[in-house]
Amino acid sequence: MKPVRHLFGIAQLEAEQIEYLLTLGASFIDLSRRPLRKAPTLRGKTIINLFFENSTRTRTSFEIAGKRLSADVINISAATSATKKGESLLDTAQTLAAMRPHVLVIRHSIAGCCEFLAPYLEGTAIVNAGDGAHEHPTQVLTDLLTLRAHGGFAGKVITMVGDISHSRVARSHLLAARKMGYTVRLVAPKTLLPAEVERYGCEVFHDFDAAIPGSDVLYMLRVQNERLTSSCCFPSIREYHEAYGLNRQRLRLAGEDCLVMHPGPMNRGVEIATDVADSVQARILDQVEHGVAVRMAVLTTLCGAHAMEEEA
Ligand code: ASP
């Protein structure tokens, strides 16, 4: 298997590398359930989380993942960084890389920024923690690890509903589905689908109810208000919820074996009804738990790959 040196996106990974990260992630689940949640794996490693967009789950889980494995973890948010004083992203990243961290975890609104920065940051592994509407690879790894714990993902049908056009999670799943042997169905109003959606080669529905039969997972997506350029993508929140919200009736139509997933943050009453979000079929908090384990796997792998180069 080729070593994973950076994690820019699912596009870059081979199926074997994804499987490797999932297997390593699975081995870390137990660590977070022990009375003493600490292992020495990343002792002596430095990880910087550089977040220019809001985050609760991703930022915290990278921090916890690093700390549980004994790395030194530093968090920087846009609000407190020198970009507020006019410094460019490249200068900020190069400044941090000069402090010799092993890993720089970046979230930014510019699609492709991690891949752009990497050649300038020699010796530092980069992780994409979400770049604009482009990719969110660790969310997909999180979801696949969750599905692995609930009967697997191969051959399954994941129906993704909501703001597909601005969702980096949907884009990364579309790439992963082909590599890992599952099917993604997309459900959205025309105004929330990307242009040329046909080129993804997946089934597209505008009627949510028609997409439900045969779905193994109903994967709900938040409307990405921060990325909408106009406010006329749907008439009102009430109508959106009626047409594209997951409620009890729709969950009944899906059957009791169908799982409900959401990458968070949820907007209850918009894309998902409260009783569905809290139902036994919801795996949303499992996703959060698995997110820590998968990020432990990513950090360990990236530190390992660089360590091997240092030794060579
Ligand atoms: N947390 C996910 C992301 O960062 C989904 C969302 O924000 O709606 O893309």
Structural domain tally of the chain? 2
- Using most ligand atoms within 8 A of CB, pick from 139, 221, 226, 227 the residue to mutate for ligand 1: 139
**Ligand 1 geometric centre to CA of 107 (Å):** 11
pLDDT score for 234: 82
pLDDT for the residue 310 = 60
Same domain, 114 and 173: no
- Residue 259, in any domain of the structure: yes
Ligand 1 atom nearest to 221, measured from its CA:
8
Q: Tell me the best of 169, 172, 219, 221 to mutate to test the pocket of ligand 1, counting ligand atoms within 8 Å of each CB and taking the most.
A: 169
The mean pLDDT value for 61-81 works out to 95
Whole-number pLDDT of residue 201: 87
Mean pLDDT of 59-83: 94
**Cβ of 168 below 6 Å from ligand 1:** yes
* CATH assignment at residue 224: 3.40.50.1370
pLDDT of residue 96: 97
Please check whether residue 2 lies inside any domain of the structure: no
Averaged over 304-312, what is the pLDDT? 62
Please, how many CA atoms are within 13 Å of residue 251, restricted to the half-sphere of its CB?
A: 23
Do 162 and 303 contact (CB within 8 A), yes or no?
no
Q: What is the 1 CA–ligand 1 centroid distance (Å)?
A: 30
- Asked if the model's pLDDT at residue 14 lies above 80, the reply is yes
pLDDT at 309: 56
pLDDT attached to residue 40: 97
- Do 51 and 31 share a structural domain? yes
Shared-domain flag, residues 180 and 82: no
85 with 172, same domain?
no
Considering the domain architecture, whether residues 107 and 178 belong to the same structural domain is answered as no
Same domain? 25 vs 132: yes
Query: Is the pLDDT score of 306 beyond 70?
Result: no
pLDDT, average across residues 268-277:
98
Give the C-alpha separation, 130 to 9, whole Å: 9
Q: Are residues 124 and 184 located together in one domain of the fold?
A: no
Q: Are residues 272 and 204 in the same domain?
A: yes
Answer yes or no: is 303 within a domain: yes
Asked if the structure places residue 141 within a domain, the reply is no
Tell whether ligand 1 has an atom less than 6 A from the beta carbon of residue 137.
no
Give me ligand 1 centre to Cα 143, in Å. 13
What's the confidence (pLDDT) of residue 174?
A: 97
The model's pLDDT over 218-234, given as tens digits with 9 standing for 90+, comes to: 999 999 888 877 666 78
Q: Is residue 145 part of a domain?
A: no
For residue 54, the model assigns a pLDDT of 93
In tens, the pLDDT along 101-144 reads: 999 999 999 999 999 999 999 999 999 999 999 999 999 999 99
136 C-beta closer than 6 A to ligand 1: yes
Residue 171 forms part of a structural domain:
yes
Tell me the residue range of the domain where 232 lies: 151-282
Spacing, Cα 66 to ligand 1 middle (Å): 21
Do 176 and 258 share a domain, yes or no? yes
Mean pLDDT of 22-51: 98
**Average pLDDT of the residues in 6-32:** 98
Q: Do 278 and 298 sit in the same domain of this protein?
A: no
107 Cβ inside 6 Å of ligand 1 = no
**pLDDT bracket for residue 305 (50, 70, 90):** low
Return the ligand 1 atom nearest residue 264 CA.
1
Residue 3 lies in a domain: no
Same domain, 232 and 300: no
Same-domain status, 199 and 235: yes
Q: Does any domain span residue 32? A: yes
Mean pLDDT of the chain: 95
Which of the four pLDDT bands, split at 50, 70 and 90, describes residue 200?
A: confident
Residue with the nearest Cα to atom 8 of ligand 1? 222
